Amino acid sequence: MSKTLLPKMGAAALVAVLAAPLGAYAESNLATGNGALSANANVDFQITIPKFLSLRVGTVGATIDMVSFNVPAANVGNGTPVAGTGGNVGGGAVSAAVLGNSGNVSLQATTGGAISDGTDTIAWSQITTATSNPSLAAPVLANGASGIVTVNAVSGVVNQSATWTYSYTNSAVVPAGTYGGVNVNNGRVTYTASVP
């Protein structure tokens, strides 16, 4: 029987042959010798999270909810608050939610001016907003831009939801009429959330 013998290789040559295929990797380590061996290799990871901000007031989607107040004739201007009807929660209330990952969120409400019936007006200060969650307070409505409400982040993230319930304070006697409406007579409030 014939045998083909490989030529004898030195230890350095053997290491070079074994290490050659490892050269294509980002990092490799070869350990040789007698006894216990250990070889380490590192991998670096990176995760990129985009900055985002989400605000919802009312029904999810493109629906704009309507809140209405019907003041009884006997109570006009007597200071008895009037509860609303409508809103996606009902009873003159809407659900609100803010979600963001870039620190504190600033909330502001903007109107086109006092609510009108085409001739006479009612100040937005006559409509108040109560919240079910003090961490997500609603901006105080005004004729124009409201003040800023800050929603505080926890570990850089804001994730707050609440029910905002509107009331008409009914503290002034005003002329009869229908004030506001579906995007008419300054009857719309636009809420804006922003981050730096």
Q: What is the pLDDT of residues 28-46, one digit of tens each?
A: 888 888 989 998 999 999 9
Q: Is 20 exposed, middle or buried (0-12, 13-18, 19+ CB in 10 A)?
A: exposed
**Higher local confidence (pLDDT), 195 or 25:** 195
| pLDDT value for 24 | 47
Residue 72's CB is within 10 A of a number of other CB atoms, namely 10
Alpha-carbon distance of 7 to 11, in angstroms, equals 13
- Contact between residue 168 and residue 126 where contact means Cβ atoms under 8 Å apart: yes
Alpha-carbon distance of 102 to 155, in angstroms, equals 10
- Contact between residue 167 and residue 124 where contact means Cβ atoms under 8 Å apart: no
- Contact between residue 58 and residue 67 where contact means Cβ atoms under 8 Å apart: no
Residue 124's CB is within 10 A of a number of other CB atoms, namely 21
Helix (H) or strand (E) holding 160: strand 158-168
Nearest residue to 111 via CA among 192, 42, 48, 12: 192
Topology (CATH) of 53-194: Immunoglobulin-like (2.60.40)
pLDDT at 137 over 60: yes
| pLDDT value for 30 | 87
| pLDDT value for 16 | 52
Q: What is the three-state SS of 59-71? A: CCCCCCCCEECCC
pLDDT in tens, 147-191: 999 999 999 999 999 999 999 999 999 999 999 999 999 999 999
| pLDDT value for 12 | 52
Q: What predicted TM-score, i.e. pTM, was given to this entire model?
A: 0.81
pLDDT at 61 over 50: yes
Q: What is the mean pLDDT of residues 125-144?
A: 98
Q: What is the DSSP letter of 156?
A: T
Average pLDDT over the chain, rounded to an integer: 90
